[in-house]
Every structure is written in structure tokens, then in C-alpha cells.
Amino acid sequence: MPVAYTIQPTYAIDDATLLETDLTTCTLLVLVGSGTFSYAVLSPLQRKFLALKSYSYQPRTLAVADLEMIEQIFDADKLLFTAFKQVLLSFDSPDTTLVPEALFQPQLKKDFLHVTHLEKTQEAVLYDLLPELRMVNVYAVDKDVLGFLRKEFSSDGVVHAYSALLKAYQSDADIRSGEGTVFLELQPMQFALTVYAGGDLLLQQQCAYRSGLDIVYYIVNSLRQLKLSEQHARVKLGGAVTQDSQVYQELYRFLPNLEWMHKPDGFLYIPRMQEVAPHHFHNLYALALCV
């Protein structure tokens, strides 16, 4: 006989502020990753984060398995059924490419994406305009997961996680350094690598890894191809990693200018959020810059 259970969040952060706020005036920021479903509640008027929850599950090769887990989360988490003023959906999917704004044509979005990524069944191809970079981010997400979330939230607001990260990185003064600045957003078994120098975006891509040495290799190889040095470039780390982890120790051993990312400026955070390491959930907080 199968055992019924209720999926529990890995992180659940809120306080009395959430109960005291009219949530119909708030924005829900939702981030779907590989084996993760996270959300944050934002009060736009106060520019304040009121709550955060994150669920983890074993990612599967078939998207239907991910959809089943997300359905279980909806069954367990009644806050998701609140009539928020706005819901922004975001996907941390690997199939993404940047296209110069001057060259982009919406009717050719699939062609641009499939130059670098194989076409997949049940994919929906979307794009985000990034006028501050004069670029367009073209990406694919699973059509069934997207359809389910759009239906449940009655929302068409969608943005790729990397588009939000780029907005966050643009406000970092270090991107103007001629020595180069590397941003890492780490998730289990994959990471986003972004490189700036002299204020220009030089590279953004997603890579798979098994150890910190894999990440070191990608960083060093990318910097040297861009005529930059890993000994002088600043490397800023965000995501699901701790200082005592093997991954961090391997990065620290080879990258002398390694530092942590911080929460986006210009927002208020409840005290319990301040207790969490500032580089955690950087990609989720960055979604507020897209509202």
C-alpha cells in the first residue's frame, strides 16, 4: 500500500509581517529550476520582501515528473492560491541564448535558439528584451509546466532567471573593471557563468559540473579565451553553496579574488532573511528587478 506524504519546504522564511499585510497588493515571484520550486512575496509599495519558500525534489529526465512534484507543492501550500496583485514566473532552464537586439526578429526566435541548442519536444520558446544591454534573451521552457503555472496563477508574466541576474549584475560597479568580473550562480550540478570587463558583457552560459575543479576549469578557460587573467579578475559567487563545502574550497584554492554575492540593493528584507547568507537565493531576489 503506497504511503501518502506531504512535501515539505527546504526553506520557509516569514514573520508576522506576512499576516499583517494585504497580499492582494503584493507580487509573487516564482522560480522553477532543476529539482527546485521557490517563491518570494514582495510588497511593491514598501519594496519589501515578506516571505520566501523553497522546495527541493529529485529532478527527472521527463518533465512530467517535475510537473507531478509541482502539483504536489500546490496541494500542500495554500499560500500559492492567494489572489496576488501580480505573479511573475521565472525559469532557470539551460536552453538559452543571447541575441543582439539589432539582429533579433521575433518570428525567428526558434531559429536563433536552435543554432546553439537542440530542439526538444514539448518546448515553448520565449524571449526577454534587455534594452540596457541591447540584447534579447531567447530561451525554451517545458510547455506543460509553463501551461500549468499560467493556468494556476492566471498570469502571463514570464522571465528567464538569467535575464533577472543580468539586471542585478548591471548595477554592480565592478563590471566596469578592466581586469574582468566573473559572476557564478551555483545550483546542484549546474551553474551560470557570466563575465564582464570594462562595462561590457562578454559571456553568459550554463555549464554542468561534478566538482569545484570543473568550475575552476570553465572559469580559467573562459577568462583566458577573453584575454583576461584568473589571478586578477574578481569572482563573485551566489547560489546554493556554503563556505565549508568542497566546491567552495576548490574554488578558493585557485581563484584568489573570490567573494560572495549580496542581496540586491534598494529592497527591505525581514529579519529572518537577514539571518540567511546573503548569496543564497540571489537569483530569486533578483526577480524583483523585473517587476
What's residue 61's pLDDT? Answer: 55
Amino acid 59: pLDDT: 62
Indicate whether 4 pLDDT > 50: no
The bridge status of strand 36-43 relative to strand 27-33 is: antiparallel
Distance (Å, whole) CA 195 – CA 199:
10
Rounded CA gap, 213 and 250, in Å? 6
Q: What is the pLDDT of residue 64?
A: 58
d(CA 94, CA 109): 16
pLDDT of residue 58: 75
Gap between the Cα atoms of 57 and 64, Å rounded: 13
d(CA 186, CA 34): 12
Give the span between the Cα atoms of 128 and 255, in whole angstroms.
32
pLDDT tens digits, one per residue of 186-198: 988 899 999 999 9
- What percentage of residues in the chain have a pLDDT greater than 90? 88
pLDDT, position 29: 98
- The predicted-structure confidence for 104-119, as pLDDT tens digits, reads as follows 999 999 999 999 999 9
Q: Are 230 and 254 in contact (CB under 8 A)?
A: yes
Residue 221 C-alpha cell reads as: 578557460
pLDDT of amino acid 28: 98
Alpha-carbon separation of residue 56 from 67, 83, 192, 196 (angstroms): 13, 25, 19, 31
pLDDT at 62: 54
Is residue 169 over pLDDT 60? yes
pLDDT value of position 65: 72
Rounded to 10°, the helix 246-254/212-225 angle is 30
Span 126-144, average pLDDT: 96
**Rounded percentage of the chain residues whose pLDDT exceeds 70:** 96
Q: Is 3's pLDDT higher than 60?
A: no
pLDDT tens sequence across 268-285 = 999 999 999 999 999 999
Tens of pLDDT, residue by residue over 35-93, are 899 999 999 999 999 999 999 987 655 555 788 899 999 999 999 999 999 999 999 99
Grid cell at residue 220: 580559467
**C-alpha pair distances (Å), 184 with each of 97, 101, 278:** 17, 25, 14
pLDDT in tens, 219-250: 999 999 999 999 999 999 999 899 999 999 99
pTM of the model: 0.93
Examine the pLDDT at 201 and tell me if it is beyond 50: yes
